[in-house]
Amino acid sequence: MIPDGLKYTKTHEWVRVDGTEVTCGITDHAQSELGDVVFVELPEKGRVIKREEAFGTIESVKAVSDLYAPVGGTVSDTNRLLGETPETINKDPYGDGWLVKISISGQGELEHLMSAEEYGKLIGEG
């Protein structure tokens, strides 16, 4: 299931917009492809990142993958829960399994993101 009300990237990140801050994570499709998540490396709070820049990594029993910034801005928070329980991403990718919060550098940062319907077509579920 692909939740409406979120925005998506071609690299399988989701974005929840709240004013000038976004919360992002990886999609259910991405976590299911990865398999059991065993480790997540996230950026430091305060780090400035550019859209589509690799900002961290996610490691599963199958592979290690880069995490890409869906928007440019400053990291305002990271999900510290994932340091001890990275498998939360598998259990609740759109809720407690969020990765980072980013204060976006401008509203134009959101224009390239896809709707749930567009993302569904990308992964063959639309």
CATH number for 91: 2.40.50.100
The domain in which residue 12 lies consists of 7-110
Q: Quick check: is 126 in a domain? A: no
Tens-place pLDDT, residues 65-106: 999 999 999 999 999 999 999 999 999 999 999 999 999 998
Q: Look at the chain and report how many structural domains it folds into.
A: 1
Q: Quick check: is 120 in a domain? A: no
Q: Quick check: is 36 in a domain? A: yes
Which of the four pLDDT bands, split at 50, 70 and 90, describes residue 1? confident
Rounded to 5°, the CA angle 99-91-22 comes to: 25
Q: Quick check: is 39 in a domain? A: yes
Q: Quick check: is 41 in a domain? A: yes
At residue 126, does pLDDT exceed 70? Answer: no
Tens-place pLDDT, residues 105-117: 987 899 999 999 9
At residue 64, does pLDDT exceed 70? Answer: yes
Between CA 86 and CA 79 the distance in angstroms is 10
Using alpha carbons, list the distances in angstroms from residue 15 to 8, 109, 111: 6, 11, 12
Q: Quick check: is 122 in a domain? A: no
Average pLDDT (31-47) is 96
- pTM assigned to the model: 0.94
Find all residues with CB under 8 Å of 64, minimum gap 6, and list them: 57, 58
